[in-house]
């Protein structure tokens, strides 16, 4: 006998994500899901952001990695409360992982919480974790073909941060093509050009974050 | 990689429905997967075969229906359907102001129970 089910397979994750979002909103925590491929500089931009924010808002970080706690140590040294998730192989964070660790952070004392996803340009875009917005990071050295090769990530993000912009003269990357293709995938995408090494563009990025959190 | 978590969700929903309605097991499950959902049908099938043993879906057959990407162009006011997983400009006029209507589905549609 046939039974109509018609249910979204990710319903359980989406339901948990909605609950997480409600908890964060009730506590006045703005949450950003930060995504990129491995090595684009997610932890570096968080270190720079903590430094440049200089107490103007209180930051917190959930670190997602397959293994290890190197990133959490870096964030701790930079001066923000942090909790590390090890996915033990999973290629992305999901809403339940966030639920399990959220109480380990002093949420009442956090204005802006970054969830640093597992380094991967594919799967993290498909799982909501309870964030307000998604932001993706792409480093110049990854090449200008990435927007059209990994379109979902660009379509789902509110902002694109182009990191390692100081490397532009040393690569064949076509910056205008990256911007053009990204905007064709997502006309509303806000684009930042930064270098975590030289500090270029960091203050514009931080100003944007401050404005988001104030809303 | 995440096809395993998707199959877990799929099995949870199917088994819950099966139990709730008082059936003994599941014969088949039909899912609708959008081409832009990022899910690979082969990997989904593989994960399903690997995870179904020992569940009420032990002998169940999985059928995957792929849904193409379709939408509407705000510029030339026409509907379109494409073969690719993604569309970045209107296939007719090239404009980038599009509304995507289908292609992101990740749904269980129906199942047969006994």
A95: domain CATH number is 3.40.50.300
Give me Rg for the CA atoms of chain A: 17
Cβ contact A151:B104 at 8 Å: no
DSSP lists the bridge partners of residue A133 as A32
Q: Is A5 within the bounds of a domain?
A: no
pTM of the model: 0.81
Residue among A8, A91, A148 minimizing CB distance to B107: A8
Q: Is A123 within the bounds of a domain?
A: yes
Strand order across the beta sheet in which B79-82 lies: B79-82, B69-73, B98-102
The verdict on a CB contact (< 8 Å) between A1 and B113 is yes
**Coil, helix or strand for A121?**
coil
* Model confidence at B74: pLDDT above 90: no
A178/A110 Cα distance (integer angstroms) = 34
The reported pLDDT for the residue numbered A184 is 87
B106-113 vs A2-8, strand pairing mode: antiparallel
Q: Nearest CA to CA, how far is A38 from chain B (Å)?
A: 16
The reported pLDDT for the residue numbered B22 is 93
- When the pLDDT of each residue in chain B is averaged and rounded to a whole number, the result is 91
The verdict on a CB contact (< 8 Å) between B1 and A11 is no
Residue B31's pLDDT band (cuts 50, 70, 90): very high
Cβ contact B26:B111 at 8 Å: yes
The verdict on a CB contact (< 8 Å) between A11 and B37 is no
Q: Nearest CA to CA, how far is A6 from chain B (Å)?
A: 4
The reported pLDDT for the residue numbered A3 is 85
Q: Is A1 within the bounds of a domain?
A: no
Q: Is A189 within the bounds of a domain?
A: yes
DSSP lists the bridge partners of residue A161 as A137, A192
The label of the residue with tokens 């293994």 reads A67
Structure-token pair, residue B27: 């014969």
Count the residues in chain B.
114
**Coil, helix or strand for A198?**
coil
Among A1, A2, A5, pick the best mutation site for testing chain B contact (most B Cβ within 10 A).
A5
B105/A26 Cα distance (integer angstroms) = 31
The verdict on a CB contact (< 8 Å) between A3 and B97 is no
The reported pLDDT for the residue numbered B40 is 87
The verdict on a CB contact (< 8 Å) between A151 and B88 is yes
Neighbouring CB atoms inside 10 A of A131's CB total: 24
DSSP state of A40: S
Q: Which residues of B touch A152 (CB under 8 A)?
A: 36, 38, 86
Assembly ipTM: 0.72
Q: Is A2 within the bounds of a domain?
A: no
A36/A124 Cα distance (integer angstroms) = 9
* Model confidence at B78: pLDDT above 90: yes
Q: Percent of chain B, pLDDT > 90? A: 70
Residue A59 region by backbone torsions, left for phi larger than 0, else alpha for psi between -120 and 50, else beta:
beta
Q: Is A4 within the bounds of a domain?
A: no
Residue B85's pLDDT band (cuts 50, 70, 90): confident
Average pLDDT over residues B13-38: 93
The reported pLDDT for the residue numbered A57 is 96
The reported pLDDT for the residue numbered B1 is 53
Give the helix, strand, coil percentages of chain A, each rounded to 5. 45, 20, 35
Domains and CATH numbers, chain B: 3-68+103-113 (3.30.2320.50)
Q: Is A25 within the bounds of a domain?
A: yes
Average pLDDT over residues B2-6: 82
Residue among A4, A123, A181 minimizing CB distance to B2: A123
**CA angle (B95 as vertex; B94, B100 as ends), nearest 5:** 105
Q: Nearest CA to CA, how far is B110 from chain A (Å)?
A: 4
The reported pLDDT for the residue numbered B48 is 95
- How far lies B98's CA from each of A43, A63, A166, A190, in Å? 34, 35, 34, 18
The verdict on a CB contact (< 8 Å) between A148 and B88 is yes
Mean pLDDT by 10 residues, chain A (215 residues): 85 90 97 97 98 95 94 96 90 91 96 96 90 98 93 93 98 96 92 98 98 90
A vs B: CB pairs below 8 A: 83
A129/A124 Cα distance (integer angstroms) = 9
Q: Is A56 within the bounds of a domain?
A: yes
Instruction: State the greatest distance between any 2 C-alpha atoms of chain A, in Å, as a whole number.
Output: 65
Which residue, among A32, A21, A46, A66, has the nearest Cα to A213 in the 3D structure? A32
The reported pLDDT for the residue numbered A90 is 81
* Model confidence at B88: pLDDT above 70: yes
Q: The domain containing residue A21 runs over which residues?
A: 11-214
Q: Nearest CA to CA, how far is A61 from chain B (Å)?
A: 24
Residue B75's pLDDT band (cuts 50, 70, 90): confident
Residue among A9, A122, A185 minimizing CB distance to B107: A9
A190-193 vs B26-34, strand pairing mode: unpaired
Give the total number of structural domains in chain A.
1
Q: Nearest CA to CA, how far is B50 from chain A (Å)?
A: 17
The label of the residue with tokens 């379709």 reads B70
* Model confidence at B2: pLDDT above 80: no
């Amino acid at each position: 006998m046939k039974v109509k089910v018609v249910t979204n397979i990710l319903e359980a994750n989406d339901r948990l994500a909605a609950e997480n979002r409600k908890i964060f909103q009730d506590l006045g925590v703005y949450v950003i899901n930060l995504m990129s491929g491995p090595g684009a500089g997610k932890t570096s931009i968080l270190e720079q952001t903590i430094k440049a924010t200089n107490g103007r808002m209180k930051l917190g970080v959930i670190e997602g990695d397959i293994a290890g706690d190197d990133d959490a140590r870096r964030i701790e040294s930079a001066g923000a409360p942090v909790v590390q998730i090890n996915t033990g192989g999973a290629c992305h964070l999901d809403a339940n992982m966030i639920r399990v660790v959220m109480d380990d952070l002093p949420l009442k004392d956090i204005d802006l919480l970054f969830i640093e996803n597992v380094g991967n340009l594919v799967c993290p875009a498909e799982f909501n974790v309870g964030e307000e917005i998604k932001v993706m990071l792409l480093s110049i050295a990854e090449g200008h073909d990435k927007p059209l090769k990994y379109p979902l990530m660009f379509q789902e993000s509110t902002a694109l941060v182009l990191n390692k912009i100081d490397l532009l003269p040393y690569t064949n990357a076509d910056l205008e093509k990256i911007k053009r293709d990204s905007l064709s995938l997502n006309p509303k995408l806000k684009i930042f050009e930064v270098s975590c090494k030289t500090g270029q563009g960091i203050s514009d990025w931080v100003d944007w974050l401050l404005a988001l959190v104030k809303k | 990689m995440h096809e395993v978590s998707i199959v877990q969700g799929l099995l949870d929903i199917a088994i819950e429905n099966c139990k709730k309605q008082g059936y003994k097991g599941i014969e088949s499950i039909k899912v609708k997967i959008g081409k832009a959902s990022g899910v690979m049908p082969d990997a989904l099938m593989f994960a399903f075969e690997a995870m179904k043993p020992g569940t009420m879906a032990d002998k169940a057959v999985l059928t995957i229906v792929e849904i193409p990407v379709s939408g509407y162009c705000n510029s030339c006011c026409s509907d379109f359907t494409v073969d690719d997983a993604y569309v970045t400009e209107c296939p007719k006029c090239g404009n980038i102001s599009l509304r995507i209507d289908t292609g992101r589905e990740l749904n269980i549609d129906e199942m047969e129970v006994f």
